[in-house]
Structure 1
Amino acid sequence: MTTLEAKDTLFKKKYTLNCRGKLLSLEVPLVMGILNLTPDSFYPGSRLSSAEEALQKATQLLSDGADILDIGGYSSRPGAADISVQEELERVVPAIETILQNFPEAVISVDTFRAEVAEASIAAGAAIINDISGGTLDEAMFETVARLQVPYVLMHMRGTPQTMTSLANYNDVVLEVVDELLVQLGKLQQLGVKDVIVDPGFGFAKTVAHNFELLRRLEELRILGHPILAGLSRKSMVYKSLGIDQADALTGTVAVNTVALMKGADILRVHDVKEAKQTIILLEKTQL
């Protein structure tokens, strides 16, 4: 590999995201900090129960260097309980409003697959919609994103959080993920959606082996022509592979995030913002 080829693997793209008029450059990868307003998130250390707790967590994440705060009120772990739209709204909207009252310049994404929750969250001040279903669980989502003209994270998943584990069947997981994302990207393009981030959906309708194959070949998602988000933080592919608990999975998370960055990830979605920012800074210094 030549020096130019090596440099091409990191921090190459000149994407920007228009977040309520604020342009976020992706020339250097960004860190998205996780705020889970759910009692049953897969990682207990990330669970928050009120807008006040969300504000405390947001204060910490922003101090640690988070570029985006990702707020979710619906647990998407395998087999998670379903909740009503109203309950999700009551968890998410007050948190968004409270954080922005204290940090008006914060860029917030809402982690939801429901168009109604997405629209209410954008009205409350959120700037990005992060949809784990990639538009497959609410037929109104794509039209809503097109009308609002906000950046949209298109994640790959099959089924629902309750059924996805049974749908982890692939002949070639990377090719099939790319093909299924392409279908949804075509729909978004027809509707005039401009800012789309693609997410291969680590852990969603994928086995541990599928997750590592996706990570190994993550650069193949560049064919889609959009920024890539990697959500690997403290997931089962890390702690199960190491035979440890989620609470001890920070070092493993740093390792897989490093690989993701070297394979072309533009955004890291993480529980541990400080460590992710440090990883990006050090990798950036390897570029000539």
Structure 2
Amino acid sequence: MTKSTLNVKGNLISLNSPLVMGILNINPDSFFSESRTQTPDLIKAKTAKMLEDGASIIDIGGYSTRPGAAEVTQREETDRVILAVETILKEFPETVISVDTFRSAVAKAGIEAGAAIINDVSGGLLDEEMFATVAKLRVPYILMHMRGTPQTMSNLTNYDNLLVDVCTELDAQLAKLKALGVADVILDPGFGFAKTVEQNCEMLKNLSYFQRFNLPVLAGLSRKSMIYKTLGNSAEEALNGTTALNMVALINGAKILRVHDVKEATETVKLYNQLYA
């Protein structure tokens, strides 16, 4: 049976109804320009709107991981994350915050500042200290599938069997986490990370394949290139496509939707619950 709760700061959060995670990019380089937020006033305003619209988790990223993204120093990323965490918790103290980083030191600083979840796009592959840090901090960990780095991943899309290979690579990392006693793991198959548009679509159609792990699955499809390249538009025009694919993800077992547009995702979850719950 798939794990149905997360232990967040000693409180159990139910996943019986899918959750919406709102994206807050504290960097100037995100692929979706409207998600870039760098001042305390903007952080507070965007967080307020996402919480009002139904976000259960706010995901803070201080380093863009889009293909070809610019490098950011660890110090700069840490400063951005801490600014956002402290700003949000001062204004909205009950907010559940995840830190989107592949650096263990940034993850540790974010948790110590008050964040509750670590969201690692590299699945522990870019920082050998990440898993030990997660185990020591005893927080939920989002394990994403990726190959290479944000700068090289677009060239690492050769798979013998996409679903089998992705699951095998995730399983190897899961074994390490289990050995360290990490109890709360969420799987993210990594849409857009070392996958072509066609591979992303194949993975979404078969998202239920990942239920073999008996772990909650996060779907991060929001405004990604698999949508706007298929539709021939842009990230700015990809909200309708995002909503359509989010429903597909929910039908195929996703328990968390990571999105730029919280209101639309929350409505999608409500309709899904009405139809399928």
1:157 aligns with 2:146: yes
Indicate the residue corresponding to 2:6 in structure 1: 17
Q: Report the Cα offset of residue 50 of structure 1.
A: 2.1
- For residues 90 and 253 of structure 2, the distance between their equivalents in structure 1, rounded to whole angstroms, comes to 34
Indicate the residue corresponding to 2:46 in structure 1: 57
> Which residue of the other structure, out of 123, 126, 131, is the alignment partner of 1:134?
123
Q: Deviations over 1:211-253 (max 9, x none)?
A: 0010011000011121000000000000110011111111100
Q: Report the Cα offset of residue 256 of structure 1.
A: 0.5
Answer with 13-22 or 248-257: which moved more: 13-22
1:89 aligns with 2:78: yes
* TM-score normalised per structure 1: 0.94
Q: Any conservation in 1 of the 2:28–2:38 contact (CA below 8 Å)?
A: yes
Q: Any conservation in 2 of the 1:71–1:108 contact (CA below 8 Å)?
A: yes
- For residues 249 and 79 of structure 1, the distance between their equivalents in structure 2, rounded to whole angstroms, comes to 20
Q: Any conservation in 1 of the 2:25–2:60 contact (CA below 8 Å)?
A: yes
Indicate the residue corresponding to 2:18 in structure 1: 29
Q: Partner amino acid for 2:233?
A: I
Q: Partner amino acid for 1:149?
A: R
Q: Any conservation in 1 of the 2:159–2:165 contact (CA below 8 Å)?
A: yes
* TM-score normalised per structure 2: 0.98
Q: Deviations over 1:78-122 (max 9, x none)?
A: 010111100001111011011001111100000000000000000
Q: Report the Cα offset of residue 22 of structure 1.
A: 2.1
Q: Partner amino acid for 2:249?
A: A
Residues 133-212 of structure 1 mapped to structure 2, 5 A cutoff? 133-212=122-201
Q: Report the Cα offset of residue 287 of structure 1.
A: 3.2
1:125 aligns with 2:111: no
Moved over 6 A (4+): none
- For residues 184 and 278 of structure 1, the distance between their equivalents in structure 2, rounded to whole angstroms, comes to 34
Instruction: Give the percent of matched residue pairs that are identical in Structure 1 and Structure 2.
Output: 59
Aligned residues: 277
SS in 1 for 2:23: strand
Gaps of 5+ in 2: none
- For residues 40 and 113 of structure 2, the distance between their equivalents in structure 1, rounded to whole angstroms, comes to 13
SS in 2 for 1:70: strand
- For residues 100 and 44 of structure 2, the distance between their equivalents in structure 1, rounded to whole angstroms, comes to 17
- For residues 37 and 98 of structure 2, the distance between their equivalents in structure 1, rounded to whole angstroms, comes to 16
Q: Any conservation in 1 of the 2:21–2:257 contact (CA below 8 Å)?
A: yes
Distance 1:14 1:169, change over 3 A: closer
Gaps of 5+ in 1: 1-11
Indicate the residue corresponding to 2:99 in structure 1: 110
Q: Partner amino acid for 2:77?
A: E
RMSD: 1.0
Q: Partner amino acid for 1:201?
A: G
1:269 aligns with 2:255: no
